[in-house]
Each structure stands twice: as C-alpha cells, then as structure tokens.
Structure 1
C-alpha cells in the first residue's frame, strides 16, 4: 500500500509540474494550447483574455457596473449565503430577488416548467479580464492588502465596489467547509493548473449555460424542460464561479458527490437555452438554515439539491 501510494502521489506531482512548466514564458492562450493541444479554447474564455480599454485588464470599475449575469429568479433573497456559511457567493455579490434557482432532480424531467431570468453573454464574462499569471502574481491578493489594491485600481474605499472586492478576498481566504475543495484562481493559468490537478487529467473541457438559437433579453420567461430532460454528463466536475474583482478572479470548488447535468430549456417564444445544472447528492453537512431547504421544503441529507450554473463554468472530463 505504501509503495502504491508513493507512485500515485508521484504521478500527481508530475502532472502538476508538467502542466506548470515553462508557463512564465507563455501567454495565457499559449499556455492553454500547451496543456490542451487538441481542445480549442471556448469563446467565452477567450473573451476574458481580450485587451481592455480601461487599461486595468478589466472594465473601469470606478464608473461602471458589470452587466447583469444569468440569474434565475425563484428564491426570495440572497441572505442564504450569510446564513449558511456556504462560500463562493456573498450576499453583496447577489442582487435582491435574484438568488440561484434551486430544484430537485425530478424538476428536470421533460415538460417540467420553471420561471427563469436569462441574459446570455459569454457567461464567464461579467467583470474584469484575466491578467497573465506573472502580472496577477505581482499584485497582492489578501484582505490585509485591500487598501493597496483599491488604490492601485483607483477604487473609492467607501464604494459598493470596494465592499464587493473585500468580500471576494474574504471568501477566498475562508477555510474550505467539510467536503469542499477550493481555490481562487487569479489567472487562467492558475485555474488550469488547479482543475487539471484536482481532476487528475488533461482530457477535460469547459461547459457553460448558453443560448442555442437566439440572443436572450433580460426578462423573466417561463421555460419548460425540453425533450429528453436533464442528461447527466458526469459525476466528476470542478466548478468555477466569477467573482467581483478589478480583474478576473474565479472561485473554483467542488464537493464530493456532485453530478453535472445538461438541461434543455425551451421558452414559449421558441427561445432555447442549454443550461448546465449541478446536483449535490449529499447535503447532510449543509447548514440547516441554507435557503435551498426553505425554498424546496426539504431537510438536509434527505434528497439531492440541484441548481443552475448561472455565472461561471464547469470543467468536466472529455
């Protein structure tokens, strides 16, 4: 057993070292091509590498707000984040009346109806752009350096944006809860390294919630689950959620027993959305005050709880 464990650990270290080698001399898209030579970079990720007119690598956060992301609208509020201690989404990061839509697995059966607000942009793109790894590593990333960060990006300390940035740092610094693996990726290269190491392979790809046949406007629509219903893609996944920061930072995490579904949604006007949903099979360790239990009328550990990935991406094996 000891020899076997040694070889497993050695193989994992070799995978990580091989992934990270020579990365400092590569651009982010060059690093992608090195790690995933046969997998084209999705447009939604490529958009995050585009140059920004603000000069900060992202939108000018001092006088503009990020566009409205894809947020379902069924739960009442976002206080669930503070009550549950569930990391990755602080109350300030979630507009009122736009909490994630929780559902049960049976809600993904063909013909099931749900009211969802959708706006399809490249869904990973809701804030800043990725800095190359070297530039990101040169910037302090901690609550103790918040003042310096705000000054660097000309953000007023008493502004709402500053509060959101503080909460992003706090979420990233918080210890993982039981059963969670987490990492805040401050560059695309950092995200790739973490995902490859945790999933144990380079044979992976990123999936997003996306429009199928037309652009979506921001409005509540009644969708029904299309033919075939929710189709399970895999039970091995790493999810990365966008955060509020002057440049792109993604909160990547996973819980054991998480399964990924592709759910076809069809609106009354014929608009179709290919939605990615996560189902958490074991919720016995979740805080009993988690908003999902109130919304669904269930108790911890009794049934799997599902939700759409509304802002971010999921990494799954090929």
Structure 2
C-alpha cells in the first residue's frame, strides 16, 4: 500500500516551516550549510546530493520500501530469499581476489527511495525514534498501526536499537548533520566520504573485470547504509580491522563503475549463518572477507 507524498510528509513540512521561521538564518542550520562548514574540502558523494536535493512534489506517491529490505547487515543470519538471490553471489569475495584482472559477476542497481529526503537536524530531533514511541511515530505520519509500511518502520527502529556485535560501534543517524558528527568523531575531520558510482544503470547481472584497485584511507573508517524509513535514516558503524577500497570495474557490455569495497580482516564475531559465509562457504574468523557496497551507502575514510 502506498501513501501520497503530501499525506506522508505534511507533518514534517509543518515542522520545517516552524523551524525555519524560528531561525535567524536558515542557511546556517541547513544540512547543506552544515556540510560546508564542517567539511569544506570534502566533495559530497552523489548519493548524499541526490537525497539532500530531493524536492517535495504534491500528489506524487511514495513508500517506505515495503517488501524490499534496504539494508541487511552482512553479519546477521541470512534469509532464504537472500541466500537464493543470484544477485548476491558476486557481492562477497576473498581479499586475495582484490586485484587487477579479477572477473566477477555483479549486479548494480539503486535501491534508494527516490522521494526520501534529509530533514534538518532541528526538525529530525523533534520526531521520536524509538520502539516505545512507535504509536506516536505512526500517528505522526498518518500510518495505520498494522500496515506493511508500519511494519517496515518498526523493523528499522528495532535494528537501530539492537546492540552492536563485538568490535562494532554503531549509530543510526536521523539527519545528515548527525551522520557527519558520528563519522568525524570516529575517523577525524580530515575525511573523504566515498560511495559507489556506476556509469549507467544496467539492472542485470553481468561480468565485470577489475581494472584498478585503490586503497582509501587508513584502518579507520565508518560505513553508513541507508535504511527504509519515511525520511533519510542511515545505519552507521565502525569496525576494527576494516579497510576500504575504490575498485574500478568494466562490464562485459562496456559499463564502467567505481565501486566501493570494504574488507574485514576479523569476522570471528559474525553470525555463522550470515550471507557472506553462506556464499563463500567459509567459517567465521578463518579468512579476510570483502564485499561491494551499493550506491546508497557512504563510506567515511581518513583523508
């Protein structure tokens, strides 16, 4: 079931109007202005630009991503659907395969909800984000308690409330400003945010050849994944013994991509039934594992 965007975002737009009127200088508190003030030398990844500059279009329908998980942590037990989805096969690979000439079958597609937008922090902070306040949250967005959209919202909040696994520092950012603050607190303000960029959407599984591998930053990095929600919410986490790379790829049809890959040296605390182990047929903590990130992820690395 889909809700019209004006019905879904009307309460938020009211909040925005109040916040902007109350502010002496709206530009000083906008997400875009905050990025420029904290990260003046860091280019904004395309995924952030797209979400930040989304416009409200009256009458255009939207959803919070029902039936399509935006992000399933690689260290959680995989569902049967994920295990049998052939598009997941090439996402995971061994560290030894991260080199020029390696061929992989990959599927690049955008999963970001086109209508999702960042809320200014002063607006997002006024909206509850907890399981205890779920009834209030659903009422805020005029959602029926037992609708599919409501279930998606509940799962997202629950994921954010679960404790991290060993070696993981996690945080769900409900605004761009809070994502910047968490990431820079873990990596430092001299950072370079990166994301996967594909020349064109192919929407098909095909073979790609690695033409170049570039290591990004040092051992410190934060990975942020967009979640299914009524507005932009990112699951950010920092792992120990994790390294990020930008991998240049060329598809069999000529499509070029600069894909972000993350390699984990220590997977001993991961669930043995996670998708990575199911695909690669190995056990936790035995070998370094890597995986590509889709276009709706942002990786923060030391510059």
Question: Same fold, TM exceeding 0.5?
Answer: yes
2:136 aligned with 1:152? no
State how 1:177-192 maps to structure 2 within 5 Å: 177-192=165-180
2:17 aligned with 1:32? no
Distance 1:45 1:251 in 2: 14
* 1:206 positional shift: 0.9
* 1:291 positional shift: 2.6
1:275-295 CA-to-partner distances (Å, cap 9, x unmatched) read 100000011122222232222
2:42 aligned with 1:52? no
Q: For the Cα contact (< 8 Å) 1:241–1:251, is it kept in 2?
A: yes
2:7 is matched with which residue? none
2:279 aligned with 1:295? yes
User: So what's the TM-score if we normalise by structure 1?
Assistant: 0.76
Give ranges in structure 1 of 5+ residues lacking alignment.
Answer: 1-21, 72-77, 85-90
User: So what's the TM-score if we normalise by structure 2?
Assistant: 0.80
SS at match of 2:107: strand
2:77 is matched with which residue? 83
1:91-142 CA-to-partner distances (Å, cap 9, x unmatched) read 69979725472110122222222211112x5x76666211000100000000
Distance 2:97 2:261 in 1: 11
Distance change (3 Å), C-alpha of 1:48 and 1:287: same
State how 1:112-127 maps to structure 2 within 5 Å: 112-119=102-109
SS at match of 1:38: coil
Distance change (3 Å), C-alpha of 1:70 and 1:210: farther
Q: For the Cα contact (< 8 Å) 2:69–2:228, is it kept in 1?
A: no
* 1:168 positional shift: 0.8
SS at match of 1:206: strand
Distance 1:129 1:46 in 2: 10
Specify which of 233, 237, 248 is matched with residue 253 of structure 1. Answer: 237
Give ranges in structure 2 of 5+ residues lacking alignment.
Answer: 1-24
1:198 is matched with which residue? 186
Distance 1:287 1:172 in 2: 18
1:143 is matched with which residue? 131
- Single out whichever of 104-113 and 244-253 deviates more from structure 2: 104-113
SS at match of 2:231: coil
SS at match of 1:53: coil
Q: For the Cα contact (< 8 Å) 1:127–1:246, is it kept in 2?
A: no
2:220 is matched with which residue? 236
Distance change (3 Å), C-alpha of 1:282 and 1:65: closer
Distance 1:236 1:109 in 2: 22
Distance change (3 Å), C-alpha of 1:163 and 1:172: same
Specify which of 191, 197, 200 is matched with residue 210 of structure 1. Answer: 197
Q: Quote the RMSD (CA, aligned, Å).
A: 3.2
Q: For the Cα contact (< 8 Å) 2:93–2:289, is it kept in 1?
A: yes
Distance 2:278 2:239 in 1: 21
